[in-house]
Amino acid sequence: MSRKDVKRARLTFAALNDAFKAGDLRPFLTEFCDRQIVLKPAGIFPETAETRGQDAEMRGHDGMLRFATMQAEAFDEFHVEPLEYIDAGDRVVVPLRYGGRARHTGLDVEFDLS
């Protein structure tokens, strides 16, 4: 892992949080995500529970926008916090803490993903 890779990962997460705050992921997706990106939600939130199983993949920018829309429906505020940057050879692994203010309860919630 090079300093350049870590710098890019830091920039990416900062841009992602800015996009969530702005309420528009399109510029972020265009700059940081391949058009063929694949997201596999864990299905731990009720709004993503229907995405579990073999059909759990959200593909492309449209899939990412669909996921972001689900998150926007669940949270008034949403953030993604990188906990560390781990050298995994030719990859950077980034455990995350994410959460926000739950729309329906008003409670602040956070979850760690490692």
In sequence order, what are the residues at sequence separation of 6 or more whose Cβ sits closer than 8 angstroms to the Cβ of residue 40? 56, 57, 58
pLDDT given for residue 113 in this prediction: 81
pTM exceeds 0.75? yes
Nearest to 75 by CA among 102, 43, 44, 111: 102
In the predicted model, is pLDDT for residue 94 greater than 70? yes
In the predicted model, is pLDDT for residue 98 greater than 60? yes
| Overall average pLDDT of the 78-83 stretch | 90
Domain extent, residue 72, equals 3-113
Whole-number Å distance between alpha carbons of 10 and 35:
21
Q: What CATH number is attached to the domain comprising 11?
A: 3.10.450.50
DSSP letter, residue 53: S
**pLDDT tens for residues 42-76?**
766 655 555 555 457 889 999 989 888 887 788 88
> What are the φ/ψ torsions at residue 77 (nearest 5 degrees)?
-130, 140
Confidence of residue 34 (pLDDT cuts 50, 70, 90): very high
The total number of structural domains that make up the chain: 1
